């Protein structure tokens, strides 16, 4: 989770403003017979367009809500950064062993983030967003996500460093369990595809698979430390994985994945305790 400044706020407002102009132009094409842009002043155009096209009002209102949210992002981010600076510094424990409390904090932070994003989509965007609502989102969605992430961290008093340390150890433990299942169990084609895609998401999350400027991905197998994953992490992960979600990482969403607990722990017999 980043705490760097918002780079796109000005672009956000410009895109949202342009969206408003384009909405008017787009829906004017559907004005009723006898009504033209020339014989309406600007205010009258906006009064008539909803009658001409019932989709306009939803599109217009969604865009207005998005513009309003976008205008407040920079100020929100500044205030949140001040509060973030008051969070106690994370002291690296010097090992890779996570606790149940660490897992609970990770789940809480990510759930808080996802809940606010879901509410934003429901209230500001709508269930069936129109084309210019989507266009208005282009300029504001990245800075908005940054504000929401930072707000979740401030609310639950967690630094970037602590979140990243917990995330890395949870995801590396997940790779250990997924890799065992891929290597040692008889899987259907669908199960194999699901696990392979899940492993890809885990690789991206841990930067074992890193996005390049040319839109390709580069594999860094040297970043895997599966032999160093503590057995205590594996036990905690297997106890909690049904509740763990992250971007590109879902263990239940597309069908519950069943891990063979005893076999996986036996395979980790030589790992640290």
Q: Is the pLDDT of residue 245 over 80?
A: yes
Neighbours of 94 (CB within 10 A): 6
What pLDDT score was predicted for residue 127?
Answer: 66
- What is residue 211's three-state secondary structure? strand
- pLDDT tens digits, one per residue of 45-104: 445 544 455 566 677 777 778 878 888 899 999 999 999 999 999 999 999 999 999 999
Burial class (CB in 10 A: 0-12, 13-18, 19+), 68: exposed
Identity of the highest mean pLDDT range in 18-22, 42-46, 116-120, 226-230: 226-230
Supply the mean pLDDT for the chain. Answer: 82
- pLDDT tens digits, one per residue of 142-158: 898 999 999 999 999 99
Looking up tokens 């994003």 gives: 117
Say if residues 227 and 143 touch (Cβ distance below 8 Å).
no
224/20: higher pLDDT: 224
């Amino acid at each position: 989770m980043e705490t760097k400044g918002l780079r796109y706020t000005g672009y956000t407002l410009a895109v949202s403003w342009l969206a408003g102009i384009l909405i008017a132009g787009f829906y004017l094409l559907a004005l009723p017979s006898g009504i033209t842009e020339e014989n309406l002043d600007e205010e009258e155009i906006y009064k008539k367009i909803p009658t001409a096209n019932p989709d306009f009002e939803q599109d217009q209102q969604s865009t207005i809500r998005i513009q309003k949210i976008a205008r407040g992002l920079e100020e929100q981010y500044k205030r949140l950064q001040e509060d973030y600076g008051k969070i106690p510094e994370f002291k690296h424990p010097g090992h890779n062993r996570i606790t149940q409390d660490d897992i609970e904090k990770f789940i809480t932070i990510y759930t808080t983030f996802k809940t606010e994003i879901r509410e934003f989509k429901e209230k500001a965007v709508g269930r069936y967003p129109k084309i210019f609502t989507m266009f208005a989102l282009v300029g504001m969605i990245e800075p908005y996500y940054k504000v929401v992430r930072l707000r979740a961290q401030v609310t639950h008093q967690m630094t970037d460093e602590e979140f990243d340390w917990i995330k890395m150890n949870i995801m590396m433990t997940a790779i250990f369990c997924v890799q065992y299942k891929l290597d040692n169990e008889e899987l259907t084609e669908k199960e194999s595809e699901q696990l392979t895609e899940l492993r890809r998401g885990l690789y991206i999350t841990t930067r074992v698979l890193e996005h390049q400027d040319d839109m390709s991905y580069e594999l860094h197998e040297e970043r895997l430390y599966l032999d160093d994953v503590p057995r205590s992490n594996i036990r905690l992960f297997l106890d909690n994985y049904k509740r763990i979600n992250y971007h590109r990482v879902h263990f239940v969403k597309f069908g519950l994945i069943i891990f063979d607990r005893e076999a996986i722990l036996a395979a980790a017999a030589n790992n640290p305790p």
